[in-house]
A and B are shown apart, each in its own frame.
Chain A
Amino acid sequence: MSGIRVNEWLHNSGTGGIWQTSAGNVGIASSVPTTKLEVTGDAKISGVTTATSFLSSQGQLSHRRINMNGAMQVWQRSTSASSTGGSNGYFAADRYRSSNNGSGRHTISKDTDTPTGEGFGHSMKIDVTTAVASPSANNYNFIQHRIEGQDVAQFAKGTAGAKQYALSFWVKSPKTGVHVIQWEDVENSRSVQGTYTIASANAWEKHSIIFPADTSGGISCDGSHRMQLYFWLFAGSTYNDGNVNSLGTTWASTGSISRASGQVNVFDNTSNNFYITGIQLEVGSVATPFEHRSFADELARCQRYFYMIADGSVATGAAIADGRFLGATEVDFMVSFPCTMRSTPSLYQVSGADYFKIMYAGYNQYVDGNWTIQYAQPNGCSHYATPDATGVADKPAQVILQNSAARLGYTADL
């Protein structure tokens, strides 16, 4: 046949055009196609694509999302924690830690305000209740997500094959302008920062940040706290000189000014509400669509870090466990956790007068104070407490949650 051109560009756009080899291989922006079709660069197909299989050269097709509870589905501790800011910790949404320095206070709550049509049921709302219009030098507030070393091993950090980090999320901020995200290697005290710029206040926007690979600072593949994300909400002059050019956008030792410079003040007014959902951290240079998970899947992942066995706001009169009187003045019970926790957990409790009932042989007694954890390990533990009246040694008993404010859980978070 005449007119078939091979081993040359079929379009006069040069290296950006189409190339066909004598073997019938076609390259788009590639003059050395080794398969029937080879594309250098991105390809966009509006219709359905089928194949015998799809082989991803970077990342993976499922389980791409490394962070947990990114769609704000799981709130075991509380769906609303008010006046937070006096201490740092996990108060509401599972796996998202709140840190504050200064007089700023806020309520963290589970909200149904979400970006339309994206399939999210909930967001995390930060409602500023005590504003910090003029932060002192050391004042700050950020949301943090901490990750075990073994869950970031796929980034190959500290090796020649280190991978990029793709972070994406939906956010609705009361402030236009620059917002900062810090990605920190806790093990080697190294950080890199990225920014997203809010164009319209109080409107949902999707943003993504691609953090560079880091060939320095290897991460131990273990269950310890090794890397963490910071979503900065405001920062005083120690961390923020007001100039985004001071921000460290390449990996370096964790500094101060380099961490949050340019960050707007989300806490400058008590009318401010900040929302976030759809957080996804994954391997690679591209932020892929959010990987939704079932509630059961996300809850199970979160229970490695926190397990609420009884919550009075959900059900009073709820059974916790079988127990017994070890002696006349001590009642004990044991619990097995639904999954192996990250470490031996702490006992998390909200207790008070008659918050827990000890029921045996037609008698009711109550625990007024705190339970003490004993013989604990990552799969279960024992507890003991002194009831408010003398019981009968060796009597079996049921331990019942008795007050709507009572809580009993286990925390092994990072």
Chain B
Amino acid sequence: MAIYKLNQHSSESEPSSVTLTDGSGVVLCIPFDNDNTDYKDYLAWVAAGNTADAAD
């Protein structure tokens, strides 16, 4: 299980956010926004060869 999991609402055609659960006790739900620091960290994680878990 990856630390990131994509979120896709039933009304959406593709995921619009990703949830980070890193064991810190705080869960972040991160919107796909290029100015968001957490989203930049997610993109860097993906660029390092990782893949988020698919949305339910």
Complex: chain A residue closest to B36, CB-CB: A343
**Size band of the interface chain A makes with B:** 20 to 34
* In the bound complex, CA of A411 to CA of B29 (Å): 10
* In the bound complex, CA of A345 to CA of B33 (Å): 9
B-facing mask of A324-363, CB < 8 A → 1, else 0?
A: 0000000000000000001111111111000000000000
Give chain B residues whose Cβ lies under 8 Å from the Cβ of A87: 22, 24
Complex: chain A residue closest to B31, CB-CB: A376
Give chain A residues whose Cβ lies under 8 Å from the Cβ of B39: 346
Name the residue among B30, B33, B36 with the largest chain A CB count within 10 angstroms: B36
Q: Does A412 contact B (CB under 8 A)?
A: yes
Write the nearest CB–CB distance from B36 to chain A, whole angstroms: 5
B 4-31 contacts with A by CB, 8 A: 7, 9, 16-17, 19, 22-31
* In the bound complex, CA of A392 to CA of B41 (Å): 39
* In the bound complex, CA of A380 to CA of B31 (Å): 12
Q: Does A224 contact B (CB under 8 A)?
A: yes
Q: Tell me how many residues of B have a C-beta within 8 Å of chain A.
A: 21
Q: Does A232 contact B (CB under 8 A)?
A: no
Taking a contact as CB atoms closer than 8 A, the residue among A225, A350, A374, A411 that contacts B25 in the complex is A350
* In the bound complex, CA of A344 to CA of B40 (Å): 12
Decide if A344 touches B35 in the complex (CB within 8 Å).
Answer: yes
Give chain B residues whose Cβ lies under 8 Å from the Cβ of A371: 29
Q: Does A414 contact B (CB under 8 A)?
A: yes
Q: Does A189 contact B (CB under 8 A)?
A: no
Q: Does A372 contact B (CB under 8 A)?
A: yes
Indicate whether A348 sits within 8 Å of B17 (C-beta atoms), given known contacts A343-B33, A413-B37. Answer: no
Q: Does A188 contact B (CB under 8 A)?
A: no
The residues of B with any CB-CB pair to A shorter than 8 Å are 7, 9, 16-17, 19, 22-31, 33, 35-39
